[in-house]
Structure formats: structure tokens, C-alpha cells
Structure 1
Amino acid sequence: MPAKLKQRAERKSAKREEKKRQIAQSAIEALKELGYANTSLRDIAEKSDLSLGMLHYYFEDRSDLIIYCVSIYKQAFVREIASALTQAEGRDQVIAAFSNALVTSIFDDGMIHRLWYDIRTQAMFDETFRPVVAEIEEMLIDIVRTAYEKAGQADPAQVEIRYALLDGVFRLLMQRQIGNTARPRAELLATFNALLGQFF
């Protein structure tokens, strides 16, 4: 392909991707409120002030849009934790940085995490979601592996099990914050500090 045509195609692709991201940011607000099971493309269009035609132009169907939304959010979630870990030196700082990043995300982004757990459950029944769920979980396992190594642990054999345990605690605490059994921030920090202290 000639260089000029290639550049034009790349610009067009970048513009399309940027528009998809803008649509996804609007759609996330509707999805956070309604959840996967209760949300149609029409609901998303109405709640995000977008036309149904616009959604169909950029996304094949509801599943395509939801997968995209959750993917871009979880990528940002992992980047935030990675950034926090970059500043940490030694076991105690790694535990503190990781715990703080997790608690901050529960308080700031609990509803989008709820959507993630929703589609992860749906992936047991709908193979459409399985590739993206596997991809996201691999990213999450990798960030646990990074923390494990930064804390000075040499044997990463138990990383996947530790991820599963951490994920279970995270989901439980996040679910409580949404319901009527919310805990204060200090209590959540203490819980994660204690858990990660056992890991590292």
C-alpha cells in the first residue's frame, strides 16, 4: 500500500477508535446504573444521549459495546495499579500502594466493577464474552505477579491462586459498599493490608 494511502487509513482508524472511546464513556454511565442483563442498546442510546443508529454504526450489537466498555475500563484500572506500584520500593510500600489503589477503585469505580463481574458470570453461559474475560483476567493476574515480584518474592508459582483469593475479597468488599453494609475506607485498607501481608 502506498505510504499516503496507508497514512490516510491509519488516521481514519485512529479517528474511529477515538469516537468509539467517546461513545463507550457515555455508555458506561448507563451500564453502571442498569447492569448487563437489564440494558438494551436502546436504553444505552437514551441514557447517553446518542442515537441508536450511531451505536449500531460503531458496534455490532450490545455484547460488542459492553465488551469494549469493560475492556477499556479494566485496562485503565490495571494501568493505575501499575503506576502506583512503580513508585513503591520494598515489601511494605508495595503492600501499602496496592491496598490503597484497590480501595480507591472500590470507592470511585464500584459500579463499573459490578459490570465486570456481571459479564464474567455471563461468560460461563455465553461464549461471546469468554475471550475478553480471559484477556482481562490475564492482565489482572499479571499485575498481581508484578506486585509479588516487587515485594521481593522469588517463587511466583502461587500467583494465580493469590489472584483468585484477592479477587474474591475485592468482590465481597465492593459488593458491600454498593449495598447497605458499607465499611469505612480505613477498614478496607486494613483488610487488604492484612491479606497482602500474608501473600508477600
Structure 2
Amino acid sequence: MSTVAPDKLQARADRKTRKRQEKKDQIARSAMQALQELGYANTSLRDIAARADLSLGMLHYYFEDRTQLILHCVSLYKAAFISGLEDALSDASGREPVINALANALATSIVEDASTHRLWYDIRGQALFDPAFRPMVRELEAALIGVVESAAEKTGSARPDMGEFGYALIDGVFRYQMQNQLTGTPRDHQSLATEMRALLEKLF
């Protein structure tokens, strides 16, 4: 009787886990449009299934409930946003290049992804009431604080409280710009970047 080597069993298990993760990511990307349009409170799994052209059974197979799916969606998109900021800063060196790189990256994200950011702020607000969202919010905000700390180091303005203080200021302006982009008068990339740059020059 032949047996399967432990390393092959592990490789098989790893492939299965990877495929499941890829499918969950695929479903989350399909579900994002419904969530962007309707928001957390107004979106059910049935709404997501209908708009994403998925069966309700498929959603339940990969996600236990709506909260799990929404957490996965927000984590997926926010991780990409943070990665984009890190990439923008990676080649920048010196105060002005760092400020310009970060201001441009933030402005680009508002122009291209305002509706997606709206979902993040919706979920962050829900975390004040629903403990299920709090670990994800803490994790993502810690990563964003890390981006600010990295920018501060690159500009030579690092100090112990810069990460949290800087994040709070940048986030406030970013959220206002995003809100105006969706519900007020949309602005072009240049004007958004100019406003963000003015803030960063005062911060760093």
C-alpha cells in the first residue's frame, strides 16, 4: 500500500488554500460595486449576489455572513491603497520629492477611487458600534500610520507622535476631499494635489 509523502500532502493543502483564497478575492472584487453603490447598511448578501452575478449559495460557501464578506472586501482594497502609497514613497528621497509623491498619490486615489474610499469610511464608522469591524480597522489604520511615519523619516521630520498625529490630519483632509468629490463639486487631480501638498508642507 503506497502512502503520500508528507511534503506532497502539505503542497496539496497549500494549493487548495491558495485556490480558495483566490476565489474569495475574486468574489470580493465582484461584490465591491454593490457595496460602493449601496453602502454597508443598505446592502444584503442577496443584493451583492444579484449585482455581482453570483449565486447566494456561492457567497455562503465562501463567507459565513455579510460581515465576513464586507471585511474581506475592505481589507483587499485598503491593502492595495496602502501598497500604492508605499510604492509612491519608495523612490522618493528628500523633503520636496516625498511631499510631492505622497500628495500626488493621495489625489490620484481620490479621483480614481472616491466611491471605494466611501465604503472604508462607512465601515470605520460602523466599527464604533460593531466590534466585529474593530480589529480590521485597527490593523489598517496602523499600516496607514506606518506610511506617515515613513514619509516623516524621509523628510527628516520624524518625531515620536508624528505617525498618529500626521495620520489624523491627513485623513481629515483626505476624507473631506473625497466627500466633496462625491457629493459636492468634483475637482481635478492638480487642485486636489495642491491642497494636499499645502497640508504636507506644514506637517513635514
Q: TM-score range by the shorter chain?
A: over 0.9
Q: Paired residue for 2:32?
A: 28
Aligned residues: 200
* Contact 1:145–1:156 under 8 Å retained in 2: no
Deviations 1:32-56 (A, max 9, x none): 1111110000000000000000000
Distance 1:182 1:52 in 2: 36
Aligned 1:98-177 pairs, distance under 5 A? 98-177=102-181
Q: Which moved more, 1:2-11 or 1:183-192?
A: 183-192
Q: Paired residue for 1:50?
A: 54
Q: Which amino acid aligns with 2:180?
A: R
Instruction: Using the TM superposition, give the Cα deviation of residue 154 of structure 1 relative to its aligned residue in structure 2, in angstroms.
Output: 3.6
Partner of 2:169, secondary structure, is helix
Q: Paired residue for 1:63?
A: 67
Structure with max Cα Rg: 2
Deviations 1:58-115 (A, max 9, x none): 0010000000000011110011111010111100000000000000000111111000
* Contact 2:82–2:143 under 8 Å retained in 1: yes
Partner of 1:176, secondary structure, is helix
1:39 aligns with 2:43: yes
- Gaps of at least 5 residues in structure 2 are none
1:14 aligns with 2:22: no
Distance 2:80 2:19 in 1: 20
Distance 1:154 1:57 in 2: 47
Distance 2:29 2:189 in 1: 27
Identity %: 58
Distance 1:196 1:156 in 2: 17
- Gaps of at least 5 residues in structure 1 are none
Distance 2:125 2:161 in 1: 26
Q: Paired residue for 1:94?
A: 98
Distance 2:84 2:160 in 1: 22
Q: What is the TM-score of this pair, normalised by structure 1?
A: 0.97
* Contact 2:36–2:115 under 8 Å retained in 1: yes
* Contact 1:148–1:156 under 8 Å retained in 2: no
Partner of 2:161, secondary structure, is helix
Q: Paired residue for 1:198?
A: 202
* Contact 2:104–2:193 under 8 Å retained in 1: yes
Distance 1:184 1:116 in 2: 22
Q: Which amino acid aligns with 1:190?
A: T
Partner of 1:18, secondary structure, is helix
Q: Paired residue for 2:79?
A: 75
